[in-house]
Amino acid sequence: MTLTREAIVEHLKNIVGKERVITDEQVLKENSHDRYKKFETIFGVYTTPIPAAVVKLADTNQVSDVLKFLNENKINSVAKTGGTATEGGLETIVENSVVLDGSQMNQIIKIDETNMLATAQCGVNLGELEDRLREQGFTTGHSPQSKPLAHMGGLVATRSIGQFSTLYGAIEDMVIGLEAVFPNGEITRIKNVPRRSCGPDIRHVIIGNEGALCYITEVTVKIYKYFPENNEFLAWALDDMTTGFKILREVMVEGYRPSVARLYDAEDGTQHSFDQFAEDKCVLMFMAEGNEHLARATAQGIAQIVEKYDECRKIDSRLIENWFNHLNWGPEKIAEERELIRKNLHIGFTTEVSGNWDCINTIYENAIKRIREEYPHIEDLTMLGGHSSHSYQTGTNLYFVYDYDVKDCKPEEEINKYHIALNALIVEETLKAGGSMVHHHGIGKYRTPWTKQEHGSAYYILKGLKDQFDPNGIMNTGTIYPVE
Amino acid sequence: MKIAVCFKIIADYDRLSGKDWEWDECRFVDMSFVRRVFNCFDESALETVLKLSRQLENVSDTVELTALTVDDEQGDLFLKHLMAVGYDHAVRICCNNRLDLRFNPLVISHLISRYIKQEGQKLVVLGMQGGEGDNGQTGFLVAEQLGWPCIREVIDVVRAESPDCLKVFSRIDGAILKQTIKLPMVLIMGHSLNSPYLRVPTLRQKLNAKKKQLTIVSNIELGLDNDALLNKDKTLMDLYGQKPGKSCVFLEGKTAQEQAQRLYDQYLKERLS
């Protein structure tokens, strides 16, 4: 028998204590969405069903007890920590869902200098962990724009990536061990070892599961020595993205590992004020870091490659360093963005995809062309561009960026009229060219129409995980897996 | 109606750290590595006037908007942006780059007022102060030289019943003053809650603006030679950094609730009421 909203709340109070079960209406509304529906929520419109409760979890045992209860009663759960998700993964689309808030599980458990490991609970803010490590001369190497707000659990759950990924890798390259709880209440720990050959790497069942398979309670990541004094910024202006991709490839294939390797098209550059020093030009930038010898050799090697290209004009590296140092989004920037949206009815979104070197330029050109030619509200767009910000030996990512004036529609219609439509064109073009539809935000709830196409025959494996670990379908319904 | 908005482009001071504030022998701080932005009060002025022009056009008034700045070539990008969002004319008054105009609002006001007289504008709107010199005088001096009425701390301006007048909202002693004023006039924009940000041009508007021409006027063309631009009344003697005083109070209380109550009673209540 389905439990009523009131009964769910009552049971939850019995499990974790009444002070940990929040039912305040405003809190529930704010927990019914993430940054995906930022426009409508700024105007006080909440179209997603509001959850029955938000549970402030205290420890792993509580996670286990609560999940077991939800599983037995087939109640949908949405895992949450920092709440910075951008793809609808935190939306409570099922009536009477329960938000499992791990933000109070916020202890840094251990910094192990010998084995170069840091272990933190899911609710530890990455910025705080990073500050603590830097006091001791270390870094995680993970620095997404959301660093001031995001928590370790969410970062791992969404396979996040940071601005220094080209050197340090993405979160999946950093995670050594994990603790996670499955819907039946089973607590699992994956031990911290440098490498092993003991069957498939089961960390990857948990990393990136977006709360659709299990709840991450603890994370152990690698740490690195931190040498900010050796950072070297390099930047050039150039005519087109094609050359930029070519140079990025050469840098990667030659074996250089700058921490930052970015390529902006002219349009995207304007929103970062790059047009003030490179009007109508693309901008290619790098940061070399690490110990003195490595940083210097990396910077020199990259400069040698880029300077072979006559169209590249050197830019004062201080401009890039200053810009880069102000890239992160803290609460004040989010508040400012909300105010701007409210006053000017103007908003921006991104869609991040990836592709191998042989198709990335095709994805870039075709997606932009298709939007320009087919998108019916192109007149409302104020910006349409893109950049690459994470490169690999085999390819790179593309971050499409588009801003628009919201015209002639209700707040709740904005997302369909603009972002969903634009996102669809980009995803379709990416998949057509052989790329991946999501690079680092996670699938969330709005790219699920393409999950099967993305994985092709390998969807069998992905589906098998859901069938095995969440047979009752109570883990973040509608995320990663399309609602059948 | 011809309306001119005067604006200034400044370095984004939020992106300067304490260690960046080092000046050379001419007492200039190197900000060349920091992006430039519209001075915040001028940004409000620019947006407010765009909104006003739409109102005036709705009652079939012909409105001609001019954006005006005193700057070097770096100002051109901002002028193009303003053409894209709806300004009909974008004018840059250029002077000898080596002159220090930071603390010389008198010369700036002469340059502005001469251009205004020449072009027969009816309304001039400026921000109340620019971040660089923080002089807060240019608007008043422009009004003085034009012999026009001047309203300071303006927060909004809208169409009035009579086509010769405008309704002006300004702050005065904590209250908001609403006046209907006959043109011509100078308005000095303060903190506008209605229009804090300038709108963003669409892709098409940006493309169209690229085809438009900027107007570049020199100080000589406005009848002021280089000698007239020198700051003869004032000499910049020194610059020094102000050390912000910091203090800390620990709130006592047995529980968090007690501490929060004290915080509210002693520090927040008055501010929030």
Residue A93 CB neighbours (<10 A): 18
For residue B210 the two structure tokens come to 């690229």
Q: Are A390 and A396 in contact (CB under 8 A)?
A: yes
Q: Distance between CA atoms of A345 and A410, rounded to whole angstroms?
A: 11
Residue B36: which of A276, A316, A380 has the nearest Cβ?
A: A276
CA distance A382 to chain B (A): 4
CA distance B14 to chain A (A): 9
For residue A104 the two structure tokens come to 């109070």
Position B245 scores a pLDDT of 78
Mean pLDDT, chain B, integer: 92
**CA-nearest residue of chain A to B195?**
A343
ipTM: 0.86
Q: Is residue B273 pLDDT above 70, yes or no?
A: no
Can you list the pairs that A10-13 forms with residues at least 24 positions away whose Cβ atoms lie under 8 Å?
A: A11/A69, A11/A73, A12/A53, A12/A55, A12/A66, A12/A69, A12/A98
Task: Tell me the C-alpha to C-alpha distance, in Å, between residue B31 and each of A374, A406, A466, B198.
Answer: 43, 35, 55, 23
In this predicted model, what pLDDT tens digit does every residue of A180-207 receive, in sequence order? 999 999 999 999 999 999 999 999 999 9
Q: Is residue B229 pLDDT above 70, yes or no?
A: yes
Across A38-42, B59-63, B209-213, least confident range:
B59-63
Across A234-238, B151-155, B204-208, B254-258, least confident range:
B254-258
Position B243 scores a pLDDT of 76
Q: Are A173 and A142 in contact (CB under 8 A)?
A: no
Which chain B residues are Cβ-neighbours of A316 within 8 angstroms? 32-33
Contact B201 A323 (CB under 8 A): no
**Amino acid occupying residue B134:** D
Spelled out in words, what is the top-level CATH class assigned to the domain B2-244? alpha beta
Strand duo A187-190 + A175-181: pairing: antiparallel
For residue A341, which of A28, A41, A19, A33 has the smallest C-alpha distance?
A: A41
Position B205 scores a pLDDT of 96
Scan for tokens 């990008």, then name that residue. Answer: B77
Q: Distance between CA atoms of A169 and A153, rounded to whole angstroms?
A: 18
Per-domain boundaries in chain A: 5-103, 108-225, 228-324, 331-458
How many beta-carbon contacts under 8 Å exist across A and B? 53
Position A106 scores a pLDDT of 98
Q: Is residue B270 pLDDT above 90, yes or no?
A: no
For residue A419, which of A35, A63, A14, A8 has the smallest C-alpha distance?
A: A35
Which chain A residues are Cβ-neighbours of B36 within 8 angstroms? 273, 276
Mean local confidence (pLDDT), B216-221: 95
Position B272 scores a pLDDT of 79
Contact B203 A384 (CB under 8 A): yes
Position B28 scores a pLDDT of 87
CA distance B104 to chain A (A): 26
Contact A382 B200 (CB under 8 A): yes
Mutation test of the interface with chain B: which of A19, A233, A265, A344, choosing the one with the most B Cβ atoms within 10 A?
A344
Contact A343 B201 (CB under 8 A): no
Contact A405 B202 (CB under 8 A): yes
In this predicted model, what pLDDT tens digit does every residue of B167-197 receive, in sequence order? 999 999 889 999 999 999 999 999 888 888 9
CA distance A374 to chain B (A): 15
CA distance B197 to chain A (A): 7
In this predicted model, what pLDDT tens digit does every residue of A90-129 receive, in sequence order? 999 999 999 999 999 999 999 999 999 999 999 999 999 9
Per-residue pLDDT of chain A (484 residues; tens, 9 = 90+): 689 999 999 999 999 999 999 999 999 999 999 999 999 999 999 999 999 999 999 999 999 999 999 999 999 999 999 999 999 999 999 999 999 999 999 999 999 999 999 999 999 999 999 999 999 999 999 999 999 999 999 999 999 999 999 999 999 999 999 999 999 999 999 999 999 999 999 999 999 999 999 999 999 999 999 999 999 999 999 999 999 999 999 999 999 999 999 999 999 999 999 999 999 999 999 999 999 999 999 999 999 999 999 999 999 999 999 999 988 777 888 888 888 899 899 999 999 999 999 999 999 999 999 999 999 999 999 999 999 999 999 999 999 999 999 999 999 999 999 999 999 999 999 999 999 999 999 999 999 999 999 999 999 999 999 999 999 999 999 999 999 8
As a CATH number, domain A228-324 is: 3.30.70.3450
Q: Is residue B60 pLDDT above 70, yes or no?
A: no
- Does residue B149 have a cis peptide bond before it, meaning omega lies within 30 degrees of 0? no
Position B231 scores a pLDDT of 81
In this predicted model, what pLDDT tens digit does every residue of B3-42 receive, in sequence order? 999 999 999 999 998 889 888 888 888 999 999 999 999 9
- Percent residues over pLDDT 70 in chain B: 99
Name the architecture of domain A5-103.
Answer: 2-Layer Sandwich (3.30)
Contact B196 A339 (CB under 8 A): yes
For residue A391, which of A292, A483, A258, A220 has the smallest C-alpha distance?
A: A258
Name the architecture of domain A331-458.
Answer: 2-Layer Sandwich (3.30)
Provide residues of B within 8 Å CB-CB of chain A: 14-15, 32-37, 74, 77, 194-197, 199-204
Q: How many CA atoms lie within 13 A of A380 on its CB side?
A: 19
Mutation test of the interface with chain A: which of B31, B37, B194, B203, choosing the one with the most A Cβ atoms within 10 A?
B203
As a CATH number, domain A108-225 is: 3.30.465.10
Position A74 scores a pLDDT of 98
Strand duo A53-56 + A98-101: pairing: parallel
Residue B197: which of A343, A379, A381 has the nearest Cβ?
A: A343
**CA-nearest residue of chain B to A381?**
B202
Q: Are B155 and B176 in contact (CB under 8 A)?
A: yes
Q: Are B268 and B132 in contact (CB under 8 A)?
A: no
Q: Is residue B98 pLDDT above 90, yes or no?
A: no
